[in-house]
């Protein structure tokens, strides 16, 4: 019996660079030795949707890995609804990618590449969510980043929730910070990342993007999903 397919579920974007990054991430996962077949799906803006991909897989077992950095509406509502609508009988959904120490490690690398120096004030900029569970995930992500930087990290949001990124940058400057650097807690380029460059910071790190640690994280989620799927089938 062949290994279940890995369906990488991301948030859609109109950014060409963002779409290319998701494709590159899927290709990097598929290129790993012993990797399963990898498909991509999107829950908003563009397709194919998870339901469409699952229907296309027909009876082939699948593990859906939500490529989200925090678990909000899309993870708790959209993805399960898509699975139900697909009618697929052999599928499991893993926890989202974040928060995770692997993501924090990549954030540190992105910050250093952007010019972060010890003593700089750091703002973790997340998309934001009205879901309290997603906000708790962002707080955990900020804690993980602070542990690796061994420095305080402030949280701010780009689209939903408060405080917003420009507000936090201004507060840090008013408190005496000489330099403020933004860590982009976003997976790919798009409108949200573009907004960070207008927040008044001295530097903005690149989105998390493609990195071997992210590939390993996705495959780790996938393997957990495969075990869960086997347990369900054995009952």
Q: Which domain holds residue 77?
A: 5-98+211-234
Average pLDDT rounded to a whole number, residues 60-72: 95
Q: Per DSSP, what are the bridge partners of residue 6?
A: 38, 63
DSSP 44-70: SSSS--HHHHHHHHTTS-EEEEE--SS
Whether 105 and 197 map to the same domain: the answer is yes
Average pLDDT rounded to a whole number, residues 63-88: 94
Chain centroid, CA 136 distance in Å: 15
Asked whether 42 and 74 are in contact (CB, 8 A), the reply is no
Average pLDDT of every residue of the chain: 95
Which structure tokens are listed for 75? 């993870």
Whether 165 and 224 map to the same domain: the answer is no
Asked, as a colleague might, if the bond just before 97 is cis with ω within 30 of 0, I would say no
Task: Tally the domains of the chain.
Answer: 2
Whether 152 and 72 map to the same domain: the answer is no
pLDDT value at 12 more than 90? no
* Sequence-ordered list of residues with C-beta below 8 angstroms from that of 131, at least 6 positions apart, any chain: 71, 72, 73, 76
Which has the higher per-residue pLDDT, 30 or 73?
Answer: 30
Q: What is the pTM of this model?
A: 0.94
Average pLDDT rounded to a whole number, residues 114-124: 98
Q: Residue holding tokens 């590939």?
A: 215
Q: How confident is the model at residue 1 (pLDDT cuts 50, 70, 90)?
A: low
User: At 182, which CATH number?
Assistant: 3.40.50.1400
């Amino acid at each position: 019996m062949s290994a279940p397919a890995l369906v990488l579920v991301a948030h859609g974007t109109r950014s060409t660079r963002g779409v290319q990054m998701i494709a590159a991430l899927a290709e990097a996962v598929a290129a790993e030795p012993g990797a399963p077949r990898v498909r991509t799906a999107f829950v908003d803006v563009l397709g194919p949707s998870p339901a469409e991909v699952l229907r296309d897989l027909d009876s082939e077992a699948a593990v859906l890995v939500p490529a989200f950095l925090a678990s909000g509406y899309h993870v708790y509502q959209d993805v399960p609804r898509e699975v139900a609508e697909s009618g697929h009988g052999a599928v499991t959904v893993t926890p989202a990618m974040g928060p995770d120490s692997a993501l924090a490690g990549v954030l540190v690398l992105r910050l250093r590449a952007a010019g972060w120096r010890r003593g700089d004030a750091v703002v973790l900029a997340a998309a934001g969510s009205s879901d309290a569970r997603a906000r708790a995930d962002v707080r955990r992500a900020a804690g993980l980043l602070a542990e690796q930087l061994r420095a305080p990290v402030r949280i701010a949001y780009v689209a939903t929730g408060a405080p917003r990124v420009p507000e936090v940058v201004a507060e840090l400057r008013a408190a005496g910070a000489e330099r403020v650097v933004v860590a982009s807690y976003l997976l790919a380029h798009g409108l949200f990342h573009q907004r960070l460059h207008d927040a008044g910071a001295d530097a903005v790190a690149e989105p998390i993007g493609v990195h071997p640690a992210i590939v390993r994280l996705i495959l780790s989620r996938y393997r957990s999903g495969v075990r869960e799927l086997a347990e369900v089938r054995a009952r």
